[in-house]
Amino acid sequence: MTALPTGSTIGILGGGQLGRMLGVAAAQIGYRCLVYAPEENPCAAAVAVGHVRGDYDDVDALRDFAARCDALTYEFENVPAAPLRALGDAVALHPNADALELAQDRLREKDYILSHGGRPADYREVDSRETLEAAIDAIGVPAILKTRRFGYDGKGQVRIMSRNEAAAAWADIGKRPAVLEAMVAFEREFSIILARGHDGDTRVYPPPDNRHEDGILSRSIAPGTGLIAEQSAAAADLARKVAEALGYVGVLTFEFFASAEGPVFNEMAPRVHNSGHWTIEGAQCSQFENHIRAICGLPLGSTALTLPRVEMTNLIGIDGEEAQRWLETPGAHLHFYDKGEARPGRKMGHVTQLFTE
Ligand code: AMP
């Protein structure tokens, strides 16, 4: 593809902080973002040239939006794929609808990874109490029951520590189509964040060590060391293979558990990722800029570190005043998303710190 000229308009479906950081990166290299989101004041719109308020399944509104854009992307994976397919080829959508659909369904995603040589935790499809019992017979306990669709940040999932918790777990997830997953005895969690261009050029960031609290990412430290460093090449090979098979354009993220038996695939996200926020200051070219470069048909930037160690800390459930205390810490880079009310568990911003050793 010939690169989109500067001044072109990129349509972003979704109005959260990922869209906001994409908007900043796009503006920096001369592109304009238009945000499509159902909310009244999405935080991405504050840095965009405009906001169209509409539902994700409103094909007419999406068509009008697409007509104003030179490229389309999305910043969260629960945008329904069918209305996007209905837009046809009027404007290029990246990452493509196939990748979006795959990442929306935990079961299909795990099957796909398995068929490409990856290793998810042992899993079984669950669509009833009976299939849940059978899955427990096959996998054993402890295990985790996760809804196939619409799960994030540990939502839509429940741990089953003993068989007599099965009925409650099934009710807990709303009796929705699900996957039962074996509990992985892992040492660390890490992610492979890659960018793939129209020409197939693929760049992988140094994999960060991701620390979670209550199922929510709290810190990412790059580069991951020890077992993560040992297992990152195999994990990156899998990620590259999947990106190529999907004809993927943009940033794609894979989460892994580093276990004594090797890297275990957890899930993938067809987008920039919280565990890659450190790349804004910590990499030569950030995940946000590389996503914009990729979808605009530009050459990708270097994913190398700017300093030997980078740490990103999420600011969860805190307000602007508390977040601004970070401004007193020398070298701390504060990013505040201006999302309104600070609620427990809500990601309000993040801080990145760089270290020379
Ligand atoms: P997820 O939303 O699937 O990424 O899960 C959120 C967090 O729960 C993960 O980052 C892990 O810390 C934990 N978790 C999820 N699945 C498993 C598993 N199969 N075994 C052990 N821990 C898990």
Reading the block at residue 151, the tokens are: 């799960």
Q: How far is the centre of ligand 1, averaged over its atoms, from the C-alpha of 311 (Å)?
A: 21
pLDDT band at 357 (very low <50, low <70, confident <90, very high): confident
Question: Can 9-93 and 122-182 be said to share one CATH topology?
Answer: no
pLDDT band at 90 (very low <50, low <70, confident <90, very high): confident
At 198-228, the pLDDT tens digits run 999 999 999 999 999 988 999 999 999 999 9
Please report the sign of the dihedral spanned by the C-alpha atoms of residue 13, residue 16, residue 20, residue 21: negative
CA–CA distance, 270 with 75 (Å, rounded to integer): 8
Q: Whose CA is closest to 279, among 49, 18, 7, 35? A: 18
CA–CA distance, 353 with 4 (Å, rounded to integer): 34
Give the model's pLDDT for residue 153: 60
Give Cβ neighbours of residue 187 (< 8 Å, ≥ 6 apart): 226, 227, 258, 259, 260
DSSP 5: P
Residue nearest ligand 1's atom 7 by CA: 215
Domain regions of the chain by residue span: 9-93, 122-182, 188-355
| Residue spans of beta strands (DSSP E) within 249-339 | 250-259, 262-269, 309-316, 333-336
pTM for this one? 0.96
- DSSP H or E run through 35: strand 32-37
What type of residue sits at position 247? Answer: G
Burial of 348 from C-beta contacts in 10 A (0-12 / 13-18 / 19+): buried
122-182 fold: Dna Ligase; domain 1 (3.30.1490)
At 144-173, the pLDDT tens digits run 999 999 866 667 899 999 999 999 999 999
Q: Whose CA is closest to 204, among 186, 189, 222, 225? A: 222
In angstroms, how far is CA 158 from the centroid of its own chain?
21
At 311-344, the pLDDT tens digits run 999 999 999 999 999 999 999 999 999 999 999 9
Give the model's pLDDT for residue 154: 64
Give the model's pLDDT for residue 152: 63
Q: Is 216 in the pocket of ligand 1 (CB under 6 A)?
A: no
pLDDT band at 60 (very low <50, low <70, confident <90, very high): very high
Q: How far is the centre of ligand 1, averaged over its atoms, from the C-alpha of 101 (Å)?
A: 21
For the chain, how big is the Rg over CA atoms in Å?
A: 20
CATH value of 9-93 in 3.60.150.10, 3.30.200.20, 3.40.50.720, 3.40.50.20: 3.40.50.20
pLDDT of 301 > 90? The answer is yes
Other CB atoms within 10 Å distance of the CB of residue 336: 18
Cβ distance 39 to 327 under 8 Å?
Answer: no
Reading the block at residue 266, the tokens are: 């957890």
Residue 258 C-beta-side C-alpha neighbours within 13 Å: 23
Give the model's pLDDT for residue 61: 97
Q: For the chain, what is the mean pLDDT? A: 96
At 167-200, the pLDDT tens digits run 999 999 999 999 999 999 999 999 999 999 999 9
Other CB atoms within 10 Å distance of the CB of residue 22: 31
Q: How far is the centre of ligand 1, averaged over its atoms, from the C-alpha of 90 (Å)?
A: 38
Residue nearest ligand 1's atom 10 by CA: 215
Q: Is 220 in the pocket of ligand 1 (CB under 6 A)?
A: no
Question: Which atom from ligand 1 is nearest to the alpha carbon of 210?
Answer: 10
Helix, strand, coil share (%) of the chain residues, nearest 5: 30, 30, 40
Second CATH level (architecture) for the domain 188-355:
2-Layer Sandwich (3.30)
Q: Which of 266, 267, 275, 347 to mutate to test the pocket of ligand 1 (most atoms within 8 A of CB)?
A: 266
